[in-house]
Chains A and B, each alone.
Chain A
Amino acid sequence: MFGYIKPFRPELKIREAEDYKAVYCGLCKELGRSYGLFARMTLSYDFAFMAMFFMSLNSEICPSFEKCSCIAHPFKKQCRCLENRAVSLAAKAAMILTYYKIKDDLSDKGFLGRIRAVLLLPFASSARKKALSSGEEAKKIDLCAAKMIEEQRAVEAKKSSLSDEAAEPTAKFLSEIISLGGNEENKRILERFGYLLGRYIYLCDALDDLEDDIKKGNYNPFIFGGEKAVSEAKAVLFMTTAELSDDLELLELDKYKEIVENTICLGLTAEVERIISKKGGEQNG
């Protein structure tokens, strides 16, 4: 995924920021430990949020922490969250998704992209196999990811002008993944939450890539909006974040409640604003 789901830092308390960082580091370490150095390069905010969200949903997952050193920060010991079910589930999802993304790049990225994909595929493929051997959950994620890529191709071939339709494959994928972290009681809410979150990621990415896609002639659901494309994208994204916040209120969260709320209620809209202001800057400069 792409790193659009992150907390709104100015509103985080210092201890919350430390917790968040520890989970982020924990996921990175878990990726490295289980899937190798290549896997650590795929670390993203989105999966760190997923790990944190799963911990928040399940009160029985009790994270423990340790101080450790890290290649990225050689002079300072970092506090990190040790492996648990939530972290390992997020790591599995990250690996499987990375594999499918790379495989997808093989067929439609430009020349350089294809070379990159060819080089990375063996690593991604062995990481996926390792994840798959870990049980049913991973197999389910794998099926959903394969379906998503296929449906995404179909939507792009169709050149749908409806952003809702274009976002559907990613939305359905995340709906399945997020509901893995819950139980029978909150399944319905989590399915909608995941759906909206997937929709948010897809649409954010589409908005972010808009100019690039226009230049290269790639498909983008917002292309059809013409001059109003950005404002339309913002409206659709803001409706999605509003609905996400409403949905979140129905969930019973345990630890990290404030961080999850901060991310969903403030972080997501802030990210949309950031993407849009970046565009403004590019045009003026």
Chain B
Amino acid sequence: MKDINAAYDQIQKDRKAGKTSYGNSSYGGSYGGYNQNYGGSSYNSYGTGYSANSQFSDVRRLIQQNRIAEADEILDGVPEYNRNAEWYFLKGSIYYRRGWLGEASRCFQRAYQMEPGNREYAAAYQRMAYQQQYGTSPGRTTQTQCYACPCDCCDCCTAMMCMDCLGDCFCGNGC
């Protein structure tokens, strides 16, 4: 934790190189915290599969480099009829980074509704839905409320979020 920025860069480098234990798993994204915000390069761990299909790989790259204003400009330039689920997801990621959590959750919800099968969008949406209900992020153990954690719901997405949190612990990020 001494030098978070350096650690962050290192982790991102490792991820790109696919070195992390869950690097090639489709559950790769971490929603852990500040340093791994939505749409960041953690999604590179979705492997070539996802990035190659991405219509907005340039926007993803900008977000990952923290060039939020530029990424937002490109997204805003996309005409209304071309705004697909990924557009909403990335717009949500930008809002999230700016701290506009209300708009972020609306965008993630829209992305999820447009493409319910997409794990990336579902995880982002469900994480925020959890926060809205409990005032804490899924999988946190430092809080008393957290003892009533997601163990009662065993659907795949909750499990996925738990795995994300575990992933965080292993790479020494938020814990």
Contact = CB atoms under 8 A, between A and B. Distances in A.
Nearest to B173: A250
A16 to B, nearest CB: 15
A185 B33 contact: no
B103 A162 contact: yes
A277 interface: no
A250 B144 contact: no
Contact of B34 (A162, A171, A250, A265): A250
A241 B135 CA distance: 6
B137 A192 contact: no
Contact of A246 (B2, B34, B103, B134): B34
Interface in B1-58: 1-5, 32-35
B135 A250 contact: no
27 contacts: A11-B144, A164-B99, A164-B103, A171-B99, A185-B5, A186-B4, A188-B4, A189-B34, A195-B99, A234-B132, A235-B105, A236-B102, A236-B132, A238-B133, A239-B105, A241-B136, A243-B99, A245-B136, A246-B137, A246-B174, A247-B33, A249-B174, A250-B4, A250-B34, A265-B143, A268-B135, A269-B135
Interface residues of A, number: 36
**Most chain A beta carbons < 10 A, residue from B32, B34, B131, B132:** B34
Interface size bucket, B side? 20 to 34
Given A241-B136, A245-B137, A164 B1 contact: no
Contacts of B161: none
A239 B136 contact: no
Nearest to B95: A164
Contacts of A156: none
Interface in B85-102: 95, 99-102
Contacts of B123: none
A185 B99 CA distance: 20
Contacts of B144: 11, 266
B140 interface: yes
**Most chain A beta carbons < 10 A, residue from B5, B102, B131, B142:** B102
Interface of B: 1-5, 32-35, 95, 99-103, 105, 128, 131-137, 140, 142-145, 174-175
Contacts of B140: 245-246
Interface of A: 11, 162-165, 171, 185-186, 188-189, 192, 195-196, 199, 234-243, 245-247, 249-250, 252, 261, 265-266, 268-269, 272
A247 B103 contact: no
Contacts of B102: 162-164, 236, 239
A5 to B, nearest CB: 14
A73 B1 CA distance: 42
Given A238-B135, A261-B142, A164 B101 contact: yes
Nearest to A164: B100
Contacts of B99: 164, 171, 192, 195-196, 199, 243
